[in-house]
Amino acid sequence: MRYFGQSRPTLNATFENLQWLTISQAVADIGRFASFMRQRYLEAPVIVWGSGLGEDTDYFANVFRNINNIGGPECGEVIREAFQLIEEHYEAGDTSYVEERLRLCQPIDMEMAMILQDSNIGLHKILEEILFQIRDIPTLMRNA
């Protein structure tokens, strides 16, 4: 992949240094990364996250038809319920349940979470951090 990890052609990733990276290259790299992860971890979900998530998902579904597995109608409901469950425990200050159920690599930093929430970044940013570590949302919901 271009411009990631050790493959960066410059000492830092400033905008000036990344000016030659095109959107098409970056999107292609995401597809290559998803394929690599699916070969290595057969059941690992690959989640693309950003401010235009719906547009991103639609775009990737069309560009990378061969690597996309799109969930059925029940998938959205399961994810919504998982977010609601996480939010309820977070608001109650009970991070241990969420940490255990999601098998997080490290505890949730509540102080940082409060700073993010107070700065209007919101809970979605905190959940984004958690989702990068998630293993199995359906199992989480079954065991809730």
Q: pLDDT of 45-66, one tens digit each? A: 666 555 455 555 556 566 655 5
SS3 25: helix
Q: What is the pLDDT of residue 30?
A: 74
Q: pLDDT of 73-126, one tens digit each? A: 666 677 777 778 877 887 787 888 878 877 777 777 776 666 555 544 555 555
The pTM of the full predicted model, rounded to 2 decimals, is 0.34
Residue 67 has pLDDT above 60, yes or no: no
Q: Which phi-psi region, left, alpha or beta, contains residue 103 (left: φ > 0; alpha: ψ -120 to 50)?
A: left
Does residue 142 or residue 72 have the better pLDDT? 72
Residue 61 — φ and ψ, nearest 5°?
A: -65, -35
Does residue 36 or residue 24 have the better pLDDT? 36
Nearest to 98 by CA among 140, 46, 36: 140
Q: What is the pLDDT of residue 140?
A: 46
Nearest to 37 by CA among 28, 47, 27: 47
SS3 80: helix
